[in-house]
Structure formats: C-alpha cells, structure tokens
C-alpha cells in the first residue's frame, strides 16, 4: 500500500513534468515518446492501466490516442480509458514499431468500448492506436520509395510555427507543361490520419504504369500538402478544435498559422490559371462510417458531377462512396475553411471536403462493414484520382485527350440531376451527353404519362430550364436516352 502511494506520487510527478514515458511498478513502460504519440497514464493497479487521451491545446475533447508498451513479458494487460475511445474494431496494433498495423477485432464488440486487453508474448514494444497513424515518417518512407522518379518532387512549402518542415509534394506532370492542376491537402486537423493515406494513394496513382498514371504524367500536376498542421501531427495532438481556432477555421484575413498563410499566399501562384479543383481530405467523427463529400452550393454542380463519377467509376478494392447518402452541399459554409478558400479562387470548378472514416466504412446499417487498411485507403485514393481524371476530361475535352470509347461506354458519362429538387416553381435539369451522341430527355408522370420531350442534338453539358407552371404537384420521372442506347433516370419532386 505504502509502495503504491509512492508509485502514485512518482506517476503524478512524471505527469507534472509533461511525461512522455511512464515506468510502472512492475517495470512495464508505457510511452508516447515518438511522432504522433498521445496518451496520459493516470494510474495503474495490478495488470490494469488507466489511461486517457491528451487533449492539450483543444477546446473540444476528441478521441485520438497512440501509445507503446514495453517490458510486459507475457502478461495480459487491461487498458482502461476514462470514456469510450474506440470504434467497432478495438485498437489498431503494431508489433514492428509502427511499420504495419492490424485491428484487434473485426466486428461490433468494441462499439463504445472503454477498455481493451492484450496478451503480450515478450518484452518487445507493442504500439496501440485509435487508427493507422500517418506522420512525417510515413511520408518520408513513401517519398523514399520513389527517389529516382522524375514525376514526383518534395519541396519546402513553409516552416511550421515550431520550426518544422511543411512539405509540398508535386506529382504527375511537374515540368510546367501540364494542362491541369489540382490541390490536395490533409491534416488541417492533426489527428485525421486516414485522410493522409488516401492522399498518398492519389500521389502513388499518378506514378503508376497504367492509363490513369500515364494520363496524369501527361496532363496533370498534383500540388499536395499532406501534413498541414505538421506540429500537431508530430506532437500527436488532436488538432481538431484547437484553441483559439483550428487550422480549418484559419482561412481568415490574417491567419494564425504559418501553413495556412502559405496556402493562401502560394496556392493562387502555384495553381496559376490551371487550378481546377481542391480536395481537402479529413476524417469524420469517431464512429462515422460514410465516406462523405462536402461542397458549397455555389460550386455544387461540378462537385456533384464529381461525386457521381466517383460513385460510378470506383473499384471495389477501395472503400465504396455512395452519393445518395453522402453528398452534402451548403450555402452557408462555416467561414474560414480551406474548401471555402479554394472555392473563391478564380476559375476553380470546386473545392470540396472529403471525409474518410477512421475504422470501418459502409453506407447504411445493413451493409457489411469494411475495415480500413493502408492498402484499402490507398486504393480508394486511386479511385478518387481516377474520378478527377474523368471529370477533367469531360470538362476540358480539348485538353483531356478523352477517347470516345472510354467515355461513351460508361454510364457515368450520363450525368443527370436537377437543381433544385424537390422544386416548386422551376428547376434546371443538368445533363452530360457523351461525345458523338445525341440524346432525348423525356419527362413523364410517375405512372408513365408523357409530359415533355426534349431533343439534345449536341454532346456536352446542357442545363434545361423546366417551369412547373402547368404541372400539378407530384413525382415526375426524367429519363435520358442517348443515341448509343444508354439510359439514366431521375426522380423529380414537385411540391406546390
Ligand atoms: Zn477534420
């Protein structure tokens, strides 16, 4: 008892000294002393260690944690959090000091769990984290695997507020002869690591020896800042809700943070007149499972087209995006965000926020969950880049080298949506007719009575104004049929 008291005092002392490492009475070492590490050890008793997330510098406690344990022998230890700190797969575990990660479970047993147990096999280090970490170490390792590749380059973007290097990665066609540029960013919120894995997947896809990679190296320059809040990333801080405001609320007249100042000053120059879009990649709440796209209404049309292309062209190696549950556009955007800044740059199609869940993805509660892994996140990144390619080919056919067969035989080329929908006075039906095609749009009542037929003699984008004056309230069906036989339907809801 007396010894335990001494131990408690020791632990308290080490906390007061802003501890990075805790040595417990049984010799076990718990540590956060590495890039991205985050934990506070409150106390321990027998084989139970009481821990909590360190929410330093944040106003709204979140859930990010990442720590290592050494010298546990072959003990089974219990780790107890102050509140629920995991999603359905429990902890993500690494036995090779962070090189590879596995989830402890695949299922629902850990939902809202406050604790987990682990049986050690020897005294070597085991790391535990909320999700798969991504820090400068992972970025450097990715860059090292492409050292002699002339299609990717790392340069200094700026120095962080604490003097760290904030990297700008340029990939694809980087010899200044590109036709398009896009901006990618992640870690405006330091803890949102899955976004960086998706971003890395996009960079890697631009270097691959396939149609997408070759198109990128011919047409597209990617400008990417994968670790915007570099200090927060390395210090293992949550970053989200940072006081007085976080990096994604810092796009204001005079930003607080060096990296945001750098985006504001450099992006218009780096992007030149060729900047087409920006994707700011985040992770959502602790238990969210939808991959979501957030756009601003003013630029929502192109963002929606992008969402539709992504849904229609994605492969199953990645995670599945579903626009019907996860496309959101806002007319009153929270001010000061990266997305809003990109949207206000001249000539940009859109800036959007992409949210990548931490643990598992699925689009509704009846679907099986898919666990995130480095490879699944990177595969999704490749799908995102491919959707960017298709969008740019459709929007800039003179620059895109779109081949007829590529575009004509895919239903994603049949873009069809209405704004607003539901509508009460008028709506605009937006559609894309594939190259070398004509199309017919027929509007019928839900039980098939023909209301209107519109013939589109030209390929490309069309916006058709529909007046509701002579229609009665109800559901209408807009059906598009192209001359090469593809069809797509849209329900329109008229309320009066
Ligand atoms: Zn975020």
CA 289 to centroid of ligand 1, rounded, Å: 14
CA 7 to centroid of ligand 1, rounded, Å: 39
Angle at 235 between CA 187 and CA 73, to 5 degrees: 115
> What is 405-494's CATH superfamily?
Uncharacterised protein PF12988, DUF3872 (2.60.40.2410)
Architecture of domain 136-400: 3-Layer(aba) Sandwich (3.40)
CA 29 to centroid of ligand 1, rounded, Å: 32
Pairwise CA distance, residues 318 & 327, whole Å: 18
What is the torsional sign of CA 135, 262, 205, 432?
Answer: positive
Window from 173-177, 445-449, 477-481 with minimum mean pLDDT: 445-449
CA 230 to centroid of ligand 1, rounded, Å: 14
pLDDT exceeds 90 at position 434 = no
Pairwise CA distance, residues 482 & 438, whole Å: 6
CA 185 to centroid of ligand 1, rounded, Å: 11
- Pick the most confident of 31-35, 54-58, 344-348: 31-35
**DSSP codes joined into one string, 138-167:** HHHHHHHTTTT-TTEEEEEEEE-TTSPEEE
Predicted pLDDT of residue 490: 84
Task: Give me the residue label for tokens 């098939």.
Answer: 448
- Residue 109 tokens read as 């047993």
CA 236 to centroid of ligand 1, rounded, Å: 15
CA 354 to centroid of ligand 1, rounded, Å: 9
Architecture of domain 2-129: Sandwich (2.60)
Q: What is the mean pLDDT of residues 113-124?
A: 94
Please list, in sequence order, all residues whose beta carbon lies within 8 angstroms of the beta carbon of residue 65, skipping any fewer than 6 positions away. 38, 39, 51, 53, 54, 81, 85, 128, 129, 130
Q: Does the reported pTM lie above 0.95?
A: no
Q: What is the mean pLDDT of residues 198-213?
A: 97
CA 266 to centroid of ligand 1, rounded, Å: 22
> Helix (H, G, I), strand (E, B), or coil: what is residue 191?
coil
CA 324 to centroid of ligand 1, rounded, Å: 22
CA 261 to centroid of ligand 1, rounded, Å: 18
CA 6 to centroid of ligand 1, rounded, Å: 41
Tens of pLDDT, residues 435-464? 678 899 999 887 788 989 999 988 777 788
> Helix (H, G, I), strand (E, B), or coil: what is residue 115?
strand
Tens of pLDDT, residues 221-241? 999 999 999 999 999 999 999
pLDDT exceeds 80 at position 6 = no
Q: How confident is the model at residue 193 (pLDDT cuts 50, 70, 90)?
A: very high
CA 245 to centroid of ligand 1, rounded, Å: 12
Window from 163-167, 360-364, 481-485 with minimum mean pLDDT: 481-485
Q: How confident is the model at residue 61 (pLDDT cuts 50, 70, 90)?
A: confident
Domain boundaries, the chain: 2-129, 136-400, 405-494
CA 333 to centroid of ligand 1, rounded, Å: 14
Please list, in sequence order, all residues whose beta carbon lies within 8 angstroms of the beta carbon of residue 389, skipping any fewer than 6 positions away. 212, 215, 216, 220
Predicted pLDDT of residue 411: 46
Predicted pLDDT of residue 425: 86
Predicted pLDDT of residue 147: 94
pLDDT exceeds 80 at position 11 = no
- Burial of 480 from C-beta contacts in 10 A (0-12 / 13-18 / 19+): buried
CA 369 to centroid of ligand 1, rounded, Å: 22
Same CATH topology for 2-129 and 136-400: the answer is no
Pairwise CA distance, residues 157 & 423, whole Å: 46
pLDDT exceeds 80 at position 31 = yes
pLDDT exceeds 70 at position 1 = no
Predicted pLDDT of residue 196: 98
Window from 273-287, 288-302, 381-395, 411-425 with minimum mean pLDDT: 411-425
Predicted pLDDT of residue 409: 45
């Amino acid at each position: 008892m007396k010894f335990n008291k001494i131990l408690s005092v020791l632990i308290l002392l080490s906390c007061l000294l802003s501890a990075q490492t805790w040595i417990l009475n049984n010799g076990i070492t718990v540590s956060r002393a590495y890039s991205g590490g985050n934990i506070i050890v409150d106390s321990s008793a027998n084989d139970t260690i009481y821990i909590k997330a360190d929410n330093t510098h944040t106003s709204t406690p979140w859930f990010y944690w990442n720590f290592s344990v050494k010298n546990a022998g072959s003990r089974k230890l219990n780790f107890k959090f102050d509140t629920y700190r995991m999603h359905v797969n429990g902890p993500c575990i690494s036995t090779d000091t962070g090189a590879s990660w596995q989830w402890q479970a695949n299922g629902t047993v850990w939902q809202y769990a406050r604790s987990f147990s682990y049986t050690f096999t020897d005294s070597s280090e085991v790391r535990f984290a909320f999700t798969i970490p991504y820090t400068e170490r992972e970025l450097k390792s990715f860059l090292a695997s492409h050292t002699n590749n002339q299609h990717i380059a790392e340069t200094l973007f700026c120095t962080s507020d604490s003097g760290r290097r904030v990297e700008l990665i340029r990939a694809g066609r980087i010899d200044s002869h590109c036709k398009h540029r896009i901006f990618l960013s992640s870690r405006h919120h330091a803890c949102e690591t899955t976004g960086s894995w998706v971003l890395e997947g996009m960079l890697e896809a631009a270097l691959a020896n396939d149609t997408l990679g070759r198109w990128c190296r011919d047409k597209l320059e990617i400008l990417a800042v994968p670790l915007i809040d570099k200090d927060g990333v390395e210090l293992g801080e949550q970053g989200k809700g940072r006081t007085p405001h976080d990096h994604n609320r810092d796009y204001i007249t005079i930003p607080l943070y060096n990296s945001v100042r750098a985006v504001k000053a450099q992006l218009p120059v780096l992007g030149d007149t060729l900047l087409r879009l920006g994707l700011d990649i985040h992770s959502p709440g602790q238990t969210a499972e939808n991959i979501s796209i957030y756009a601003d209404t003013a630029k929502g049309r192109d963002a929606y087209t992008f969402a539709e292309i992504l849904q229609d062209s994605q492969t199953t190696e990645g995670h599945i995006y579903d626009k019907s549950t996860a496309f959101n556009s806002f007319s009153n955007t929270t001010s000061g965000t990266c997305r809003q800044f990109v949207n206000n740059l001249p000539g940009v199609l859109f800036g959007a926020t992409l949210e990548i869940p931490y643990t598992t993805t699925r689009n509704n509660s009846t679907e099986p969950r898919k666990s995130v892994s480095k490879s699944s996140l990177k595969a999704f990144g490749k799908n995102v880049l491919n959707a960017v390619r298709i969008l740019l080919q459709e929007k800039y056919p003179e620059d895109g080298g779109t081949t007829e067969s590529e575009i004509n035989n895919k239903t994603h080329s049949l873009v069809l949506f209405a704004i607003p929908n539901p509508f009460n006075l008028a709506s605009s039906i937006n559609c894309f007719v594939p190259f070398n095609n004509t199309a017919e749009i027929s509007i019928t009542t839900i039980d098939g009575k023909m209301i209107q037929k519109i013939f589109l003699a030209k390929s490309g984008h069309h916006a058709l104004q529909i007046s509701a004056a002579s229609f009665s309230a109800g559901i209408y069906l807009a059906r598009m049929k192209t001359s090469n036989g593809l069809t797509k339907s849209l329900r329109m809801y008229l309320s009066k």
